[in-house]
Amino acid sequence: MKNWKTTFAGLFIGSIPIVQALINAFNSGQFSHQSKGQILIGIGIIVFGLVSKDHNVTGGSVNQ
C-alpha cells in the first residue's frame, strides 16, 4: 500500500461495478459478458488504487 487514501478510493470506486454486476447476475440467474466485463473493470480500478500514490507523496524516503 502506497497511501491509504488512494487505496481506499480504489477499493470504494472499484467495488461499485463489481457489486452492480453481482446484483445483475443474481437477478438474471447467470453471468453475462457485460457482468464479466464490469467485474474486470472493478478489479482494474482496485489494482490501480492499490499501486497509486497521492500527489504529495515522494518516490523516496524523504518525509514532507
For the stretch 21-44, pLDDT in tens is: 999 999 988 888 888 899 999 999
Task: Give percent of the chain above pLDDT 70.
Answer: 78
CA 56 from chain centre, in angstroms, equals 21
- pLDDT of 64 > 60? The answer is no
Assign 3-class secondary structure to the chain.
CCCHHHHHHHHHHHHHHHHHHHHHHHHHCCCCHHHHHHHHHHHHHHHHHHHCCCCCCCCCCCCC
What does the pLDDT read at residue 62?
A: 59
What does the pLDDT read at residue 2?
A: 56
- pLDDT of 54 > 70? The answer is no
Nearby residues of 48 by Cβ (< 8 Å), 6 or more positions away:
10, 14
| Domain locations along the chain | 4-51
Cα–Cα distance between 13 and 41 in angstroms, integer? 10
Task: Give percent of the chain above pLDDT 90.
Answer: 44
